[in-house]
Amino acid sequence: MRRSRSTTAASANPPFRPISRYRAASLRNSWAARLLASIASGLVVVVLTILGFGLVEQGRLNLDNLAAAHGTGLELDRNAWHSAPTVVYGLMDRWYGHPSIYQPPAIANTDIIFFDVSGKTQADLINGLNHSNICVTYGPCLVDPAVPSGIAWGLEGDFGTQAYYYCYSPRTTTLDFRHRVILPRWSPPSDGSVPRTLVEKWNDLAKTIYVHEAGHVVVAEQDIADMNAQAQALATCDAVFSFWADPHVWDKLSADQNAYHARLRADCRPEIGCIPYGWEGW
């Protein structure tokens, strides 16, 4: 419409110059033709507008009929939309290497050995831990009355570093021992096939097992130091040899390790090395 008005205004203001009567008539006839064309264009626009509204209304009615005929399908679509956040969270809960798998720090005078478990679900990992048979591979294990199954997810042991030792004087004779900690290791693929939350749970578990076994090392270090002190207080080297050859010399250490377990169970918390029943699904 703006273009038509502009064209009309330009036709109504011809250049100022003398014109003949015929010329004037000719101009009037041209203006009348343009006016009729504008009116015709307006009518076409009105008709098209009415037709457009009709098509829109018909389309709305068709959509209403479709919704009535397929209400169940639309309801399913609505349910799918409501479940979309869960789907999105599942896609976001994929592990691509972050956070990193927990790596236990070194322990003084201790060798850390790993046994591998595999799987992409928590059930897989639990099954791998339960069937690792580390008491067979690295044992025998100290019997814990509270765990009659004998299943272990981590171990701590002690071994002498000397094939033999000399005794020139009890006071100068010290037997050297090292500790060995057996910990689980999981190496999941970082391709998004493992949930990030599972990695986080594994890290929590691995750290708790580490803290537990590190506590055993503390107990062993103290008891072995006490045993060396007892042997150094003996009168003769023969007495020292007999002391260390007695299989019952380790009885107190075994009792203290079981007492350590009992203290943990009495105040079972992950941060001190105890796994509460059902904690994080473990």
Structure token digits, residue 121: 């679900």
Confidence of residue 139 (pLDDT cuts 50, 70, 90): confident
pLDDT in tens, 237-249: 999 999 999 999 9
Q: CA separation (Å) from 79 to 23, 83, 88, 89?
A: 76, 6, 15, 16
pLDDT in tens, 93-110: 899 999 999 999 999 999
Q: CA separation (Å) from 5 to 10, 11, 28, 35, 205?
A: 9, 10, 17, 10, 81
Would you say 184 and 209 are in contact if contact means Cβ atoms under 8 Å apart?
A: yes
Q: Which residue has the higher pLDDT, 199 or 55?
A: 199
State residue 148's pLDDT score.
77
- For every residue of 118-139, DSSP letters joined together read --SSHHHHHHHHHT--HHHHH-
Helix, strand, coil tally for the chain in percent (to 5): 60, 10, 30
State residue 73's pLDDT score.
55
State residue 267's pLDDT score.
96
Q: Which of 38-52, 86-100, 130-144, 166-180 has the highest mean pLDDT?
A: 166-180
Mean pLDDT calculated for residue range 200-214: 98
Q: Is the full-model pTM beyond 0.75? A: no
Tell me how far apart the alpha carbons of residues 65 and 109 are, in angstroms, rounded to a whole number: 80
Confidence of residue 161 (pLDDT cuts 50, 70, 90): very high
Mean pLDDT calculated for residue range 171-197: 97
pLDDT in tens, 2-27: 222 222 233 333 332 232 222 233 33
